[in-house]
Amino acid sequence: MNSHKTSLLLMLLITASLANMGCSVVPVKPDGTPEPVSIDQYMKNGARTMWIAPHPDDEFLSGPILARSGKYYHNPLYFLVLTHGEGGHCGLARGCTPDLGAVRGQEMVKVAKFYGATLQNENFFNAPLPVSSFPKRQEIYKIWKKQGDPELVIAKAIRKFKPDLVISFDPDHGASGHPEHQLAARLAIAGIRMAADPKVEIDGLPPHRTGRLYHVLNRYWLMVLLGQADPPPVTEEFDTQAECTRDLNCLEFMLHGIRFHRSQFNDMQKVARFRSLFETLSLRQVDPYTQWWDPAEPAD
């Protein structure tokens, strides 16, 4: 896990003894009109679900939703992780052999198996710590473009898997301010649009139009007060204590899954210790065909 994510968790610790502020959100569509089919109902109807993120261990922020779709409703599940997280920190006393990226990649394989998901783990550049050395989002995008075509990678995965539902981060703040979270969210939109475009040829795969895209948001009240939260609006909330398996609710399932991220043990322990912070997830439904965040847009 990176220091941006660690900072997010440390800030959340301050709120551990406090209740989340705010009222329950009635689901609305991206245009603000009422949404009669909640995300849970959408998954109940058999939504093939894809998660797109930059790092192994990012799934904990979306894990309860992914578990609800895959384990409870038995929907096909696909994890697309764009890096191996080699720029992070190895928390294993014995070290990470042969290297951190290889270890985190194997940890992610175990997590995907636990969720029952198909895993596609790419090897795009992961900015190394410290946080102060991180390139700007648009600079990381240039590096990724030199390594390959991330939009095409995502579009091809979408045409192959044919998701009804895609889960990603906020494209402006990315939950923790990490530029790769923001970039992955922007590339997810670009990939969704490319996959749906009949004029784009991708290995003979037919076009596919994704039904829904949600951004999982950091909207904890203290983070809002400090100006470190993802921007509004919130269009829906998800109860992570919904049932996922015979023995576990979806939050508990996510907490069991993070144990596989052994190289990130310290950070994962913080998540487990303050589980009450994750009892509700704030979501924003967006329309990737009318709303656009340019991956190349310069960050502030």
Displacement of CA 229 from its chain's centroid (Å): 16
| pLDDT-flagged residues of the chain (< 70) | 1-23
DSSP code at position 264: G
Q: Are 48 and 76 in contact (CB under 8 A)?
A: yes
Helix, strand, coil percentages, rounded to 5, for the chain: 40, 15, 45
DSSP code at position 23: P
Beta bridge partners of 120: 80
State both tokens at 91: 């928390």
CB count within 10 Å of CB 94 equals: 6
Q: In terms of Cα–Cα distance, which of 53, 65, 282 is closest to 186?
A: 53
Contacts of 247-256 with CB under 8 Å at 24 or more apart are: 250/63, 250/64, 250/65, 250/67, 250/68, 250/72, 251/64, 251/275, 251/278, 251/279, 253/63, 253/64, 253/67, 253/71, 254/59, 254/60, 254/63, 254/64, 254/67, 254/278, 256/114
pLDDT of residue 21: 45
pLDDT of residue 223: 81
pLDDT of residue 116: 98
Distance CA 148, CA 82 (A): 11
Each residue of 73-105: pLDDT tens digit? 999 999 999 999 999 999 999 999 999 999 999
Phi-psi region of 216 (alpha: psi -120 to 50; beta: other; left: phi over 0): beta
CA 69 → CA 84, 113, 115, 219, distances in Å?
25, 15, 10, 23
The structural domains of the chain, ordered by start, are 3-12+26-286 (3.40.50.10320)
pLDDT of residue 277: 81
Each residue of 37-77: pLDDT tens digit? 999 999 999 999 999 999 999 999 999 999 999 999 999 99
pLDDT of residue 222: 77
Contacts of 29-32 with CB under 8 Å at 24 or more apart are: 29/235, 29/285, 30/235, 30/285, 30/286, 30/287, 30/290, 30/291, 31/287
